Structure 1
Amino acid sequence: MKIEKTAIEDLVIISPTVFEDSRGYFFEAYNQAKFNENGINYQFIQDNQSFSKRGVIRGLHLQINPFAQAKLVRVLEGEILDVAVDLRKNSPTYGQHVSVVLSAENKKQLMVPHGFAHGFSVLSETASVLYKVDQVYHKESERGICYDDPTLAIDWQLDPNEVIVSEKDIILLSFKDIDWEF
């Protein structure tokens, strides 16, 4: 398992060691001891899965304290652009984001810690996304930032004419209007 640091502290990309032969492949998607050895110390309590078609953008979502969620995101089928935005006001990278292509083929995972907004766009015809979380869903703590916020200027790698966003996500706040702290 390879843990790759990103430009934002605590946000890491995980690439498993894949064992392939004539039957197919095998890899450890999660090993708590190996994660802990690398400073990733979350107790995951729930797995969530979504299925989406090309052009869908989900996010940017988060939960505020005390229900903030860390997420370990991976793709079971297809390809997505996964995005995490640093919302930790005392961080030198506050307001910056990292994006990484996660796919069934590359088997990479993104570890999104507390204090980040998270979202993804579907780049393939369809995609199934699985993510572990360390906190239960708490509706009153749910927040979000609009996917097309001009301050964040995220390139979702989609033609604007093919973007599909839920009604709930279209009306999310702009980055300059958020007032949450982590």
Structure 2
Amino acid sequence: MASRGVLGIFILSALPILWLELRRGIPGLEEEENEKRQKFVRKQQQEAQGEKGDEDLVLDNASHTSSETPGREAARRRNLCEPLRTVPPPAAPQPQEEVPDLPEEPSATAEEVVTVALRCPSGSVLRRRFLKSCSAQVLLDWMVRVGYHTSLYGLSTSFPRKSLEVVGGWSLEDAGISTDTMLNVEEKEQSN
């Protein structure tokens, strides 16, 4: 009795896999059938539209001799008929602000070192080591250096989520960064 139950479970668990394999079928055969259907539909559409112009015949002959798929051929035809669009002039280059130099990164074995990781809006995570006695302003300088300007972005802690306050003469330790820390780079809300 128990063996029938195990056999039943085995068969039921194999059915989805068997169904997928049967659904997939023979790859070459399915492609040939699709191609035949597409040719048949194209022929019916052409007959419904009447005679084709010389231009369409040239395009058809070219597409049959090349290895283009019908989808690519249709996309190419759409692009031929599409008018040229004017390209907007490039935006005026913005003046580059002077980014202060960052202090040299201490070795991983040095004392009083903390690793700070920035989780950027793009999803990337950047890591750098700093001395705990280093100015907290260095974090903002680093953020600007990697492309997130302080007028548009701010730093916040993950949990509990709060904005990181950087006051003039504070060190990283004074700002609350005394251990390895992950900070989020977040867009500031723009006021109108």
TM-score bin (small chain):
under 0.3
Q: Which has the higher helix share?
A: 2
Give the TM-score, by structure 1 length: 0.21
Larger Rg: 2
Give the TM-score, by structure 2 length: 0.21
- Answer 1 or 2: higher relative contact order, Cα 8 Å, separation at least 6: 1
